[in-house]
Amino acid sequence: MSANLTPVRRDPGYTGLTAVIETLPSHYYFDADHYQFELKKIWQRNWVYVCRSSAIAQPRSFRTLEIGDQSVIVVRSDDGTARAFHNVCRHRGAALCRSSEGRFPAAGIVCPYHAWRYNLKGELVQTSSAVNPDGFDRRDFPLYGLPLTEWGGFVFVALSKDPPPFEKAFDLPLARFADYELDKLVVGHTLKKLIKCNWKVFWENYNECLHCPGVHPKLAQLVPIFGRALLERRDDPSWQDHESDEDPRYAGGLRSGAQSWTMDGKPVGVPFPKVSEEDRKAGHLYLTSVPSVFIVTHVDYVRVVRLLPLGPELTEMSIEFLFLPETLAEKRDISPAVEFTNIVMSEDAEVSELNQRGLKAAPHEKGVLMPEEYAIRQFQDWVRAELSRP
Ligand code: FES
Ligand SMILES: [Fe+2]
């Protein structure tokens, strides 16, 4: 009799799936029409992380971002307010910004085609015709504004007039992150990778650790519970056997002696002064906002991983490493954090591409989730719900 047929005990509070759950259909991961549908139903309805507030700190500085086929401008006004607009002129629809970042002149936003001019509130100030048509009212042609929220030094936009409440876009209460004083942190390093996979493949990989022992040998050593293919204590069906065992193999958290996600477990940055003992012990705290970003705090740095869909089978991942300003002022060597992340994220990118390659196999209309993949189920249920919203 195989081990899988032996009845197992499932302790109360066990998090794993107990029924057979099907995955999303395979064509959701490569079909061009379905991809467009997801851009509309998911990417154009939810909050998307653009950049750090510091990237548009100066009055009139801007960034643009391509979210699928939509281009967005975020710009800081002279009064300090950040605003977002579709990157399009109201005249005949030329793109207003050619570059991905820069600073508008004091005159405001001038369309490179026929020089219509807008102020930073998006109001049309001037056309270029000798005389405007009778009945033409400049007030009828402002830039198309978009909701923008700044929190913790992060700028988010939504391509919808009616996005979900901002706080609801996250899996934890934002107040939980107050100790990290995120708005004070500065970018010490950035990494960018193109991954040949659908954006959902990346998130599904993010949502399970069944792959951790085989794919992430270094991470499995640093976070011993990951080495058991589990994310948390109660992911083990017989977790009560070790209910009060504080060994990180059972309790989670970093291996004994390690304090941060770095090559040797030693912090590289000046530690955040207000981090609680609980967070210090855990070694990492994840904040997730699908579809575009997850933020991981450690005792000395914060990792921000943003995804953007570039096509049905291509995703851009950008990673920012945030530190206290002192860490950069003291010129500390942050490479052990960057290197560790690079190893783990490259391993994840590689298996995500592997996953994508297999999904087109003609007979594989869908897959099946295993107990440890309960968080994938939540993600896929969210995708289904978004797609079926009117
Ligand atoms: S399209 Fe912008 S001024 Fe003509
Ligand atoms: Fe992974």
- For 60-71, the DSSP string reads TEEEEEEETTEE
If one counts the domains in the chain, the total is: 2
Rounded to 5°, angle at Cα 108 from 102 and 109: 70
pLDDT of 71 reads 98
Whether ligand 1 lies within 6 angstroms of the CB of 344 is answered as no
* Omega before residue 213 within 30° of 0, cis: no
177 and 137 part of one domain? no
Residue 4 belongs to some domain of the structure: no
Q: Rounded CA gap, 225 and 231, in Å?
A: 7
Whether ligand 1 lies within 6 angstroms of the CB of 166 is answered as no
Residue 121 belongs to some domain of the structure: yes
Identify the sign of the CA torsion 36, 38, 41, 44.
Answer: negative
3-state secondary structure 123-143: CEEECCCCCCCCCCCHHHCCC
Rounded to 5°, angle at Cα 248 from 16 and 375: 25
pLDDT of 8 reads 77
37 and 67 part of one domain? no
pLDDT of 1 reads 44
Residue range of the domain that includes 124: 47-163
365 and 235 part of one domain? yes
40 and 62 part of one domain? no
pLDDT of 4 reads 64
335 and 262 part of one domain? yes
Residue 1 belongs to some domain of the structure: no
60 and 134 part of one domain? yes
- Residue 279 Cα, ligand 1 centroid: separation in angstroms? 52
Whether ligand 1 lies within 6 angstroms of the CB of 111 is answered as yes
Whether ligand 1 lies within 6 angstroms of the CB of 189 is answered as no
133 and 99 part of one domain? yes
65 and 102 part of one domain? yes
- Residue 117 Cα, ligand 1 centroid: separation in angstroms? 9
Regions of the chain short of the pLDDT cut 70: 1-7
pLDDT of 12 reads 96
> What is this structure's pTM?
0.96
Residue 133 belongs to some domain of the structure: yes
For position 125, which CATH number holds?
2.102.10.10
Domain boundary among 147, 163, 179: 163
29 and 74 part of one domain? no
C-alpha closest to that of 128 among 157, 120, 136, 374: 136
Residue 330 belongs to some domain of the structure: yes
- Residue 64 Cα, ligand 2 centroid: separation in angstroms? 30
Residue 334 belongs to some domain of the structure: yes
User: Distance of CA 118 to CAs 62, 74, 97, 105, 161, Å?
Assistant: 14, 14, 12, 11, 21
Both tokens of 230, joined, read 């589990």
Domain boundary among 116, 141, 163: 163
Residue 40 belongs to some domain of the structure: yes
Residue 359 belongs to some domain of the structure: yes
pLDDT of 174 reads 98
